[in-house]
Amino acid sequence: PRILVTGGSGFLGGTVVDTLLSRGYLVVTTMRADRPNVSASQLTYAIVKDIAQLDAFDEAVQQNPPLDAVIHTASPFHYRIEDVKRDMLDPAVNGTVGVLQSIRKYAPSVKKVAITSSFAAMYNNVNKPVGSTYSEQDWNPVTWETALDPENAAGQAGYRTSKALAEKAAWEFMEKEKPGFTLTSLNPTLIFGPVAANTASLENLNTSNARFLDFITGKVKDKCPPTGSLFWVDVRDTALAHVLAIEKDEAAGKRYFLCASPFCNVDLVEIIAESFPKYKDLLPKGDALELGRYPGSGPPYKVDHSRSVNELGLKYRTLKESVEDTVKSIEVLLEKS
């Protein structure tokens, strides 16, 4: 089978491509720019410059031999937002609706589509009581109107709303258009794990792994930052879930919440100190570590990832394995730079 993966230059997209190749698929991946180092006999690439344009994927979905499925991972994930509509909402929402529209118009051979959504599309800080459990039932209550409110338009909030609006728009498209393919959304929490082999340099290090670079280079030695999102999942498990979503018929029409466990930055620091003693003097300790603890006595919410375990058969990696492999992969980038 032949699969299109959008965003193959990214942390998750690159890992999805690797997972598909290792399972024998033929893969086409979209990139914004030429990457001549991307070559393998089962892999080709298509240039898609600006996913904010609704017709951006019209050409890429028309492949010969034709595509069987599409995995859409491309979406901006950073906190450098100047104009939330231009920088976040348009590429996230139009990228998602655009790819679905292009498939419907030009790729009738495609039967299954999986999109990368996020825990951000579930996170409900308006009326979710502390102590309750998150699952696929939960929705971020954001609307276009609240997303454009300057209060929500910067930093993490701007990113989160882009993911929520994109996933909502995808399900609305399915409802309205009833296309000849099924949709599955994958909703990962913060993703850690080895950076994809195609990561060119430290400058391309993705947002969710950036804290590991800060830890091992001593940047936050005097003040551990607060943890932020308190749940994590490994990139390899997340990538496999995307592939299983297009392999398993029962995944059609569903969301899957992908979460390994809760964590706080102190856990990361402790694992790094134990597994890589050479970094001990560069890591925050004592009072400098305080901000990295759980606020209160633990995470304010519980998570239910049972659908991903029972239906996709996902087995989640441990935090120790993920942290060790992440650090090793960043060491390779540090050597290159």
325-330 CB contacts, 8 Å cutoff, 24+ apart: 325/193, 325/194, 326/192, 326/193, 326/194, 326/195, 326/209, 326/212, 327/212, 327/216, 327/272, 327/275, 327/276, 328/194, 329/194, 329/195, 330/195, 330/202, 330/205, 330/209, 330/212, 330/213, 330/216
74 sits near ligand NDP (criterion: CB under 6 A): yes
Lookup: tokens for 203: 């400058």
Size of the site for ligand NDP (CB under 6 A): 24
Residue 26 or 205 having the CB closest to ligand NDP: 205
What secondary structure letter does DSSP report for 262? E
Residue ranges in 252-281 that form contacts with ligand NDP under rule CB under 6 A: none
* Pairing of β 26-31 and β 190-192: unpaired
Query: For residue 248, which amino acid is it?
Result: K
Minimum separation from the CB atom of position 13 to ligand NDP (A) = 5
Minimum separation from the CB atom of position 285 to ligand NDP (A) = 26
Residue ranges in 207-236 that form contacts with ligand NDP under rule CB under 6 A: 208
98 sits near ligand NDP (criterion: CB under 6 A): no
The residue from 101, 102, 116, 322 that contacts ligand NDP (CB under 6 A) is: 116
Lookup: tokens for 333: 């980038």
Residue 50 or 172 having the CB closest to ligand NDP: 50
- Ordered DSSP codes for 163-202: HHHHHHHHHHHHHHH--SSEEEEEEE-EEESPPPTT--SG
Residue 7 or 194 having the CB closest to ligand NDP: 7
Give the per-residue contact string, 276-305, with ligand NDP (x = CB under 6 A; - = no). ------------------------------
Residue ranges in 154-173 that form contacts with ligand NDP under rule CB under 6 A: 163
Residue ranges in 172-211 that form contacts with ligand NDP under rule CB under 6 A: 188, 190-191, 206, 208
Its sign, for the CA torsion 102, 25, 186, 262, is negative
Q: Yes or no: say if 230 and 263 are a contact pair by the CB < 8 Å rule.
A: yes
Which one from 49, 105, 163, 315 is the annotated catalytic residue? 163
The residue from 101, 102, 118, 227 that contacts ligand NDP (CB under 6 A) is: 118
* Stretch near ligand NDP under the rule CB under 6 A, chosen from 44-52, 139-147, 299-307, 324-332: 44-52
CA separation for the pair 336, 69 (Å, rounded): 35
Residue 32 or 302 having the CB closest to ligand NDP: 32
Is 221 tagged catalytic? no
CA separation for the pair 48, 55 (Å, rounded): 10
91 sits near ligand NDP (criterion: CB under 6 A): yes
Give me the residue label for tokens 């394995």: 321
Q: Alpha carbon 150 to chain centroid distance?
A: 25
Minimum separation from the CB atom of position 302 to ligand NDP (A) = 19
Contact set with ligand NDP (CB under 6 A): 7, 9-13, 32, 50-52, 73-77, 91, 116, 118, 163, 188, 190-191, 206, 208
Catalytic residues: 163
